[in-house]
Amino acid sequence: MMSHCLQTALLLLWGISVLSVSLSSQAGLTVEAEPGGDVTLWCEHSLTPPDYLFWFKHTNSSAPVYNACKYYTSFSSSKPCNFIEESERSVMRVNSTFSSLTITAVTLSDSGLYYCSTLKGRQMIFSNTMDLQLKERSQTSSKNPNNSEACSPPEVFYILILVFGAVICLYQ
């Protein structure tokens, strides 16, 4: 017979795994880039060749805009779609499970919400979103560098679960 403490610990671990999968599959990602730098955005999908894969950019002031498109086949390398003009600063790569969009020499006009989609018959399937934001170039003073690192929200969540789990086990 399992102890109550072990049952509680297993229940907490199961809860963590369910919650982390739910959060990761629902939440968008914020990506920061410095002006003039390069940034690569990633998208997970399941292509069934032959298939089209699109990258969109969406801002508050515009409707979604096609950013890039590739036609993917299993017997040859992916080809650009002839109905979308590709930007010279955007490079798209595709395989059967992942796609990347690299934007070179990032400018303020590149900021926005990015997502990819595949065309399955007459249905478009969209990925999670990536919010590309530009940040100021870091100008850290050598006398007083700001090297403080904060825990990301998932790390804090896991630490709190472990602490509360230990407290529950100790007081039973």
pTM of the model: 0.61
pLDDT of residue 87: 79
The mean pLDDT of 9-28, rounded to a whole number, is 44
Strand partners, 114: 57, 130
Which of 119, 157, 140 minimizes the C-alpha distance to 20?
A: 157
- 52 is written with which tokens? 């089209």
Q: Reduce the DSSP state of residue 51 to 3 states and report it.
A: strand
Residue 1: alpha-carbon gap to chain centroid: 43
- 135 is written with which tokens? 């940040």
Asked if residue 51 lies in contact with residue 72, where contact means CB atoms within 8 angstroms, the answer is: yes
- Residue ranges of domains in the chain: 1-25+151-172, 35-134
Q: Calculate the average pLDDT of the chain.
A: 73
pLDDT: which is higher, 11 or 26: 11
Architecture of the structural domain at 35-134: Sandwich (2.60)
What's the longest Cα–Cα distance across the chain? Answer: 67
Which of 117, 20, 125 minimizes the C-alpha distance to 65?
A: 117
39-44: strand order across its sheet:
39-44, 98-103, 90-94
